[in-house]
Chain A
């Protein structure tokens, strides 16, 4: 897997298998790869999680530090999400400032967490108008084998759920868990030919014409979406994706709770 270019013969094989409802890794079109996770593996972080989705591995770490609030929201804490494509994870990743792919990834993950109100930022105020807790979520891709959106979402969510506000370290009261209200889960689809598949692997992702990420909350409401790729998605396809995102979201939520 040294290149992002998939050979013609490989592409044909994937497409032909899909015509029979099969995928090259043995899954059905609606199957998510195996999910494994480990929580709290980074002792220096205030919350952390490593998630393996198939062969894709990512680590998210949360750091919570006191800082100045934004002037338009003087009593709310601040959430910042970053994603790093480090060259350790894939031969196509280069070191240097974040590229458009990693910025998009970070922003899509951020949107799911922010828009779902997962973190109750109003409870992160220390001194009204002056000091609030700043919550940094840093995500590092460790092994890139497709669908970073869902792997990073899961890692960020698990890290946040298990994060502790380090009040004692900064002399700002007791240590307490980060106030969490729900579990936003993203589900990513890829469109190959006329087929829609869930949780694309590396090869599938790179021959797909379009990509759609849908983030739902505990009630099955939609909190964030992002369409990517040059291809298009029809309204029927969108509707099918939304149904599957809710169903799959429930399954994934069960697996991590």
Chain B
């Protein structure tokens, strides 16, 4: 790909046909794994992400135990075949950083004070990557926590904004991330509007950055609706089944 590739055309249309404000297709499914206490699968465009929650359970290593509350230990992992060049399995500095900021974002909403000394373990596996994996991962992790029945103030919703060819865009794809000018991943607590994750790299003016935040907050709102919908689909089905059983019992 050449450096002068056009990411946004004269009409403001991006290479995958989206407008600047348009996020990629998002698909969320809750409760996809059998072993985990809670789980979720997310597809954001070409990203494919699985998240699982185990806990609250005994905290390992023990020196991390907090006598006043549970800690959240997130592990973000990219699988070897998830990117164009094979990624060597195992943790690297990037995944350690992402794991840390996602844990911190989730600590904000989980009522950790209910489980002193415990650990809530969140595993995020990237099956296929196409820019925005940390946001897709955090979106999935929030749904998995809710699926695990862990008490929370709210679900965290996450999406990235950025800039390419001088345009501020919502939800960058891989080409826009690689050849664009800036990337702003963020996550908010939708009911309060608090930002719980924010990173930025690249080059943006104040105006551009404000616009990116505006787009991102709006995008998170849409993610939030999809998260709630996924949880409703998961649990409303169970309720229907029980009702049917109840009815047949009465007969």
Contact B35 A90 (CB under 8 A): yes
Count of A residues near B, CB < 8 Å?
Answer: 33
**A48 on interface, CB distance cutoff 8 Å:** yes
Contact A91 B54 (CB under 8 A): yes
Q: Which residue of B lies closest to A1 (CB)?
A: B35
Q: How far is the CA of A63 from the CA of B91 in the complex (A)?
A: 19
Q: How far is the CA of A2 from the CA of B46 in the complex (A)?
A: 33
- The count of A-to-B residue pairs whose CB atoms sit within 8 angstroms is 91
Q: Which residue of A lies closest to B89 (CB)?
A: A84
Interface centre among B33, B35, B85, B129 (most CB of A within 10 A): B35
Tell me the chain B residues, 105-131 only, with Cβ under 8 Å from chain A. 121, 123, 125, 127-130
**A42 with B57: in contact, given A87-B123, A95-B75, A95-B91 (CB under 8 Å)?**
no
What's the minimum C-beta distance from A106 to chain B, rounded to whole angstroms?
11
**A249 on interface, CB distance cutoff 8 Å:** no
Tell me the chain B residues, 24-69 only, with Cβ under 8 Å from chain A. 33-36, 39, 46, 48, 50-52, 54, 57
Q: Which residue of A lies closest to B90 (CB)?
A: A97
Describe A's contact surface by its main secondary structure.
Answer: loop
Mark interface residues in A66-105 (1 if CB within 8 Å of B CB, else 0).
0000000000000000101011111100010100000000
**A138 with B123: in contact, given A41-B48, A42-B82, A87-B75 (CB under 8 Å)?**
no
**A245 on interface, CB distance cutoff 8 Å:** no
Q: Which residue of A lies closest to B55 (CB)?
A: A91
Chain B residues closer than 8 Å to A143, beta-carbon distance: 33-36
Q: Which of A1, A88, A136 contacts B125 (CB 8 A)?
A: A88
Tell me the chain A residues, 1-30 only, with Cβ under 8 Å from chain B. 1-2
**A65 with B85: in contact, given A43-B46, A88-B123 (CB under 8 Å)?**
yes
**A45 with B90: in contact, given A86-B123, A142-B33, A145-B35 (CB under 8 Å)?**
no
Q: Which of B39, B51, B83 contacts A44 (CB 8 A)?
A: B83
Q: Which of B35, B57, B82, B127 contacts A89 (CB 8 A)?
A: B35
**A189 on interface, CB distance cutoff 8 Å:** no
What 5 new A-B contacts, CB under 8 Å, besides A42-B127, A90-B35, A95-B91? A61-B79, A86-B123, A95-B75, A143-B34, A145-B34
A-B contact pairs, 5 of them (CB 8 A): A61-B80, A62-B81, A87-B75, A88-B39, A145-B34
- Which A-B residue pairs are the 10 nearest by beta carbons? A61-B81, A45-B81, A138-B80, A88-B123, A63-B86, A88-B52, A55-B34, A143-B33, A42-B128, A90-B35
